[in-house]
Structure 1
């Protein structure tokens, strides 16, 4: 019996050691290639990462390709919520996806909720060899989309919540009324360039422990995204400033060369 117990403990230590080694390697690779780390971190660090990612999608000065490769200001202004995260996809024949990020929602008064931390997972099939790190911005266009992210259950993108590629560029056409738009618009970048990578089949998981540590108490994603958690920590202000600039951007002021 003791031999079995010792074997289990030894195996557990080896798995933890391997996970740490893999995590360190992923982090090192991300730093060397100047991409964002997909590994879960404390919410304060995730806020800094998400603010950087969102600026890269909405600020022409930070976007590869300038005005042609930004999310239109109208898209951000009408968004009911935003999910921003980094994913590493790796495999051979079959592939796995892991990552982390945040979700925020627009409140009835027009302000933004506090951030709720999320993990990303998923599996797929195909002749993929090696690994790739991708940043995603998912625009939540409807109240139902926000509710889906608020339930605290594992959410799989696609299916009942259809995902479409969102319009891009200052001249990007934002067709149809808000009610007619797809529940989710997806944007992705790999190594700074728009990649057009599908997120269907990606699983979103609430990081309850990370949210508890950040807010100093037990909170649910529903409470956070509905505004019941009244005062988000001041560290979140950097993210709100990026969103504010994205919403208020004007075409004539957007070109950094003008």
Structure 2
């Protein structure tokens, strides 16, 4: 029994370390994207985002045709600031040559109340349960498209330094219950975390601060 307990503790520590690394990588993705603002996310989108999802190193499977899989973290804007993160997974879809066989970072941004409500569900498919479109790029990019009216989610990819909007229709975003349980120590409801009713764990504060640093309401909008 002692050996089993030690083994379980070791597994928990390993899981925790992986989640800490995932949060660190998600913060790095945002920082690197925003380091080149002229090719990054437009200010109007940063100011209007309801939720942000970051999937570092999304991978396309080499052995299963068309299989893609990634793990990441999500946080939502609340009246008290950005929420503690929940852990999510993104599966499916087929973006072909746009990703190829290489690892790609993904950023998904919920832009309105409908997008936020979809985020609060346990599982949904982009393009079916939630309208999604490739997000515009560039600090001063304006809506030459109808994304402001119709898109619940704007989607982006970053691969080999290139940052661009990406069509992620057909991918399924869902909660990673095991990872969320590992961090919060129990069956904390997904919705309660994203609504800001759960304190941000110390190891997640860096990720939440990074999102809060960039996804702010523009002074020009006051």
TM-score normalised per structure 2 = 0.79
Distance 1:141 1:249 in 2: 13
Distance 2:193 2:94 in 1: 31
Whether the 8 Å contact between 1:95 and 1:128 is mirrored in structure 2 is no
1:95 to 66, 76, 79: 66
Whether the 8 Å contact between 1:116 and 1:211 is mirrored in structure 2 is yes
Distance 2:52 2:61 in 1: 25
Q: Secondary structure at the match of 1:155?
A: strand
Call closer, same or farther: CA 1:108–1:177 in 2, change over 3 Å: farther
Whether the 8 Å contact between 1:94 and 1:125 is mirrored in structure 2 is no
Q: How far apart are residue 217 of structure 1 and its match? A: 2.2
* Structure 1 residues 33-52: aligned runs within 5 Å: 42-52=18-28
Call closer, same or farther: CA 1:181–1:175 in 2, change over 3 Å: farther
Call closer, same or farther: CA 1:170–1:126 in 2, change over 3 Å: closer
**Rg larger in structure:** 1
Query: Is 1:169 aligned to residue 115 of structure 2?
Result: no
- Dislocated runs of 4+, deviation >4 Å: 125-130, 174-179
Q: Match for residue 9 of structure 2?
A: none
Distance 1:165 1:177 in 2: 11
1:75 to 35, 42, 45: 45
* Structure 1 residues 107-146: aligned runs within 5 Å: 107-109=78-80, 111-124=81-94, 131-146=101-116
Query: Is 1:239 aligned to residue 210 of structure 2?
Result: no
Q: Match for residue 6 of structure 2?
A: none
Q: Match for residue 197 of structure 1?
A: 166
